[in-house]
Structure 1
Amino acid sequence: MTTKRFAGLPGSVALARAWVRTELAKHGVDDDAIEEAVLVVSEFATNALLHTRSGDLGGTFTVTTEIQPTRALVSVTDQGNDTQSTPAWGRRPAPLAEHGHGLQLVVAMAETWTTITHHDHCTVTAHLPLLVPAQRSGGAW
């Protein structure tokens, strides 16, 4: 498991994406699975900046990656908000709405997802399947 803290600034979302890409590549994760994880961390980090104290002056958020035998876990921990609200996993935005579609992408890619809320922070985690290359047997596909 690896963790890194980022400043609560819009440019940090790109830094978090690059960090996740590098961390997963170090472990030999398939390129397509890496891209899914990068999209997930982008959504989670952006939401942290928009909806929590992480986006306030001096705020931060933390990204964690964990590689398991059949999946990768990608988490973002923010600094919470005054209402202790959590991501709207079940809400479907209007098809032409400008915002609200990101979590639907996460739901489509993840095996499962979790949200753990405390009074001063919230951690969202996506459990993403790792793509296992097909094994050749006997020289024929």
Structure 2
Amino acid sequence: MTTKRFAGLPGSVALARAWVHTELAKRGVEPDAIDEATLVVSELGTNALLHTRSGEVGGTFTVTVEIQPTRALVSVTDQGNDTQSTPRWGQHPDPLDEHGHGLQLVAAMAETWTTILADDHCTVTAHLPLLIPAQRGRER
């Protein structure tokens, strides 16, 4: 498992995507799975900045990547909000709305997801299918 903290600035979402990409690529994860993981961290990181104290002056959010035998766990931990609300999974915004589709994307890509709410933060974890190529060169 590896974790990195990012400043609560819009440009940090791109940095988080690049970091997740690098972490998964150096572990041999297939490009399609890397693309899904970077999209997930983009959506969750953006939500952290828009809906929590992470997007306020001095705010931060943390991204964690954990590789398991059959999946990758990608987590974003924000600094919570005043209402202690959690992401609203399962809502179906109007297809023509400009916002509100990010969690639907995450849910479509993830096998499962979890949300853990604490007093001062919320962690959302997407459990993504992991594709690592079989070793080549072994012939019988």
Give, as a single letter, the amino acid of the residue that structure 2 aligns with 1:106.
V
Alpha carbons 2:25, 2:34 under 8 Å: kept: yes
Question: Unaligned 5+ residue runs, structure 1?
Answer: none
CA 1:132/1:25 → structure 2, altered by over 3 Å: closer, same or farther?
closer
Q: What number of residue pairs does the alignment pair up?
A: 137
Determine what percentage of the aligned residue pairs are the same residue: 84
- Root-mean-square deviation over aligned CA pairs: 1.5
Alignment deviations for residues 92-135 of structure 1 (CA, whole Å, 9 cap, x no partner): 11110110111101111100000000010000000000125479
Give the Å deviation of 1:23.
0.4
Q: How does 1:59-70 map to 2 (within 5 A)?
A: 59-70=59-70
The two structures have a TM-score, normalised by structure 2, of 0.94
The residue correspondences of 1:24-63 to structure 2 (distance < 5 A) are: 24-63=24-63
Distance in 1 (CA, whole Å) between partners of 2:51 and 2:18 is 22
1:7 aligns with 2:4: no
Q: What residue in structure 1 maps to residue 18 of structure 2?
A: 18
Aligned residue for 1:44, secondary structure, equals helix
* CA–CA separation in structure 1 for the residues paired with 2:55 and 2:102: 18
Q: Which residue in 1 is equivalent to 2:105? A: 105
Distance 2:107 2:135 in 1: 29
Unaligned runs of 5+ in 2: none
Amino acid aligned to 1:124: V
Aligned to 1:79: 79
